[in-house]
Chain A
Amino acid sequence: MCISSRIDKAFYDIGRLDILALADTPLHRLDPRAKLLATLVFIVCVVSFGKYEISRLLPFSLYPAVLIGLGDLPPGYLAKKLIMVSPFVIFIGIFNPWFDQTVMFTIGPIAISGGWVSFASLIIRFILTVSAALILIASTGFAPMCMAMEKLGTPKIFAVQLLMLYRYLFVLIAESLRIVRAHSLRSFSRKGKITYRVFLQIAGNLLLRTIDRAQRIHMAMLSRAFTGEIKIVRQFSFGYKEWLFAAGFSVIFITMRSADIAGLLGRLLMEIK
């Protein structure tokens, strides 16, 4: 595998999410705070279920599905990102069937153990929580979200830190990408593999350049009357749409959490049959 592919991929990967956030849809136009609040309620409701819960988790897929629709987001791309980060959860979760072999129920001749049920539950949780977070960023953009977080009480300096990181992320990834490419152009025998020593050189040099850059940025700030505090004007309006979105979804989630909608509906359906 080519060594620079990881960093290349990351570059385009972040870029893609970033571009998605520039779109103009009803979902994108909502105040970020509404989306953030609804997403937090969503995640807390999802993870608060018992570990064997499956059926009552399923209705929660309503939220990502509706948001993907409202925000015109590409489900395939989001799914790919989900799969990319799944190994850790699968690795931890796969022990559940191993340690918990109590038979929970049987489907015909097949006995399903509690471990498999909790594993499935874990995967569903994972899909729901991660997709909610991805949708949040893809429909909001990082910068507006930081500003919304600041409005919701995150310390200003931390919000500014997030904004600065985000701004220079692209600059520095591009810079290290150039270094890594330049290295792989001249490392014929090692197939572009970066040795520990070379890595130190790359990292050290990039670090020095980065520190110099910080000094220049500081000068650019000072020359525009910077006095130690970064001021941002960002007028968000939390109007009726936002109330409707945040409160509406919260009510739905809490209802789905507290009442067994799935069970009720299922019983109803099965009785009709």
Chain B
Amino acid sequence: MEKSLNPDDGRSQNSIPQLIKSIWVIGNLHLQRRYCGSWLGAAWSWMHPVVHLLVLWIVFSNLFPAFENYFIYLASGLLPWIFFSQGIQTCSTVLVSNRNIFISSPVSYETHVLGTLTGEVLHFLVAFLLLILSVPLLGIPLGWHLLAVPLFLLNLILFTFSWAVIISFLTPIYRDISHFLTLFFTFGFWLMPIVYHWSNLPPPYKYIVKYNPLTLIISPFQIILHGGVVPNPHLIIISYLTVFTSIWLAWYVKRQLGKKIIYHL
């Protein structure tokens, strides 16, 4: 009979299956809402990455003519990057924009953050599946190494979920964050080895690019799809450690801010 309350913020905790259903419904309706009334519907969400990809491919394939299968290298880095940056930017304002819900119902904050991100995950997975299917058409043979893709997809999704929670909890308190994110992602894109390979850079920049946490999450896709091999164990371990650190950080931020966040909405 005693209502189960979350010890971190006093909000209700549904059972895990109920939580998953709520997240799925919020994500699904979030997508339907975004494209209802538009002619192309959900296809608009693939238009952005496709156009972005084509523009970068046309420009940089001419700059790096010796780069073999450049399209696959570019696409396998760009799609995860777009998923991460769009997911974080969309989730950054979830708590603020749903204020009316949170002040009138003891529902957990994470349900809304994860629900909103679920829509982005679905789009990304469809786009990434299309990329994998196009790999043999572009001359790279399929192989057992592709079985490692789900492992790193899970890594990327958990990493993005963690940072979505962190940013969405910080934004109500520090409102500049949503503006800062736009700048960060514009700048951050060029710090990622997406359009170029990190080995082309001179030493000080090479290490910054190679060891930035996002590179550790995104570059395994380039290694698998473009390189045709499974990333080495060293990269797998560091990549997973990065994700576990992000999950811990998200849990810590939620624990620290969970109680006061409602007064900032």
Q: Please indicate whether A and B come from the same complex rather than being unrelated chains.
A: no
Binding site for A on B (CB under 8 A): none
Binding site for B on A (CB under 8 A): none
